[in-house]
Amino acid sequence: MHNNIVQIVKKYDEALSEAESEKYILSIQMSPDGFLFCIFDDEKNKFLSIETVEFSNVNRIGILTEILKQFVLGHPWLTLRFKTVNIIYETSKSTLVPSPLFDKTEKETFTEFNFTVKESHDVEYDKLNNLDAFILYTLPVQLKETVNELFPNHKLLSHSGVLIESILVLHKNLPEQKRAFVNVRNSYLDIIVTEGRKLLYYNSFNYKTKEDFVYFLIFVLEQLNLNPEEIDLVISGFIDKNSELYEIIYKYVRNVHFQALTASFKYSYIFNEIPSHYYFNLLNIGLCEL
């Protein structure tokens, strides 16, 4: 394995068969600092594997694509043919546009309101059916070309889009009230606030300390006139109950819950050893009609 690759999780159900790969769905989530994927048996509606690696000292897109190629081409599962390949790309640069206003020929114009697009990046977009909106985001051209080479005919999805769609689908039939969601990533947190089937707020923030983290959370709640003592907050991503992040969240927000595994899917026994909220986005692509 490449020196820049660190194995974090590697779990496979014995029922997986390489000879039957074309009946499986491969879902991948990638970012400049990591790569995770799972394999889903579509016939049995069951997740059968999860594997994650971290990339270290990746400060240029050329290094990332080199590491990515070496990892994928050297992996016994990632070179097989699958029924479907979904790829989620994590980026801090995204923006929502209501469907009636969206025009794909003006996508660069829409992004200019929120962020600058580098010349080496393309603007991509996904349709969010449960929101009747489009989400626009940036993707490095070199990485896009590498992904197309490694996974022909894949479906590209934005991290933000999958997160928003999954939350809206999972909570659409619950009693209508305002709910807050925080998804924890490496140095980023995503905050979503919903009311029934409506999205009230979405944004991502870069944080370096636990104080940064809770500042952004409390700031958003205050801006939306939500009482931290009363709002229900659901947490997903890489955070544990004994972590400093959780402790400082609980200091200010009382009703805090971890996201459970989605009941509409089945899970191999290997997921018993993994916190249910860790891989929320990766395990819920099937909820999204993107």
Per-residue model confidence as pLDDT tens digits over 100-145: 999 999 998 888 888 888 888 999 999 998 888 999 999 999 999 9
Show the low-confidence residues of the chain (pLDDT under 50): 290
Q: Which residues contact 59 (CB under 8 A, 6 or more apart)?
A: none
pLDDT at 60: 82
pLDDT at 103: 93
Every domain of the chain and the residues it spans: 171-258
Question: How far is residue 40's CA from residue 5's CA, in Å, rounded to a whole number?
Answer: 24
Q: Is the pTM of this model over 0.85?
A: yes
- Answer yes or no: are the C-beta atoms of 109 and 48 closer than 8 Å: no
Q: Which residues contact 272 (CB under 8 A, 6 or more apart)?
A: none
pLDDT at 118: 85
CA distances in angstroms from 164 to 27, 37, 127, 285, listed in the order given: 17, 20, 12, 11
pLDDT at 2: 63
Per-residue model confidence as pLDDT tens digits over 197-219: 899 999 999 999 999 999 999 99
Q: Which residues contact 145 (CB under 8 A, 6 or more apart)?
A: none
pLDDT at 289: 56
Q: Which residue has the tokens 């050329």?
A: 62
pLDDT at 290: 43
User: What letter does residue 116 receive in the DSSP assignment?
Assistant: P
Residues in the chain: 290
User: Among the CATH numbers 3.30.420.260, 3.60.110.10, 3.40.920.10, 3.40.50.300, which is that of 171-258?
Assistant: 3.30.420.260
DSSP E strands, the chain:
5-12, 24-31, 34-41, 46-55, 84-89, 94-98, 121-128, 133-140, 155-158, 178-184, 188-195, 198-206, 232-237, 255-258, 266-267
